[in-house]
Chain A
């Protein structure tokens, strides 16, 4: 089954404790992206990757890191989480990220609470 998986689905942590949210897709997609969803702000892009070893900032990259060592995986790293990073996070992928007609496939989301 074609899918995007994220782990963990739910996470409660404390300020400053490094964490990683994993994202994996099995569709051989080149493009992957991370979004956060917040009330009143909608989905905003954090980082994206056009291919292996090619990553770039989205609209709200502060406090986040990503890596793309393999095509299927795109982990989101919070080196020192803060309460303002409490949010619902979505990973998405699409074949190339270049065509306007491409559909982005989303993971189920990771709900993060930073105390």
Chain B
């Protein structure tokens, strides 16, 4: 049962336009959300995060929005650049469990293609 869902396996946008990547979650205990970017033959790299006490976090061209009532978050990339072409993973964390393991629960990823 997928607790973090990225329903769009792929997305294609024109360079300079906005990219919007969506993520839904089912577990209301999640308190921290992260986006990672992954290029082929590389490991995921951290992009941006948001705490459940906020509804928006911005870092340069990247903004993450969190709608807790809808259990939905989105990543906006403005303007999109060809170098942004990668797989984007949404991940969620629900705090320390019995093992003190801040485990991340991952979505399946959305492959973004930014066309010149």
- Point out residues on A near B: beta carbons under 8 Å: 4, 31, 40-45, 48, 50, 56, 58-59, 90, 92, 97-109
Q: Are A109 and B41 CB-contacts (below 8 A) given A42-B107, A100-B51, A103-B46?
A: yes
Bound Cα distance from A59 to B106, whole angstroms: 12
Tell me whether chain B's interface is mostly helix, strand or loop, or mixed.
loop
Considering only CB atoms, which chain B residue lies closest to A94 in the complex? Answer: B102
* Range of interface residues on B (Cβ < 8 Å): 20 to 34
A100 touches B102 (CB 8 A): yes
Binds A, one of B59-67, B76-84, B88-96: B88-96
Q: A58 is contacted by which of B4, B89, B103 (Cβ under 8 Å)?
A: B103
- Point out residues on B near A: beta carbons under 8 Å: 2, 4, 31-32, 34, 36, 41-46, 49, 51, 89, 93, 95-96, 99-104, 106-109
Q: A108 is contacted by which of B31, B42, B46 (Cβ under 8 Å)?
A: B42
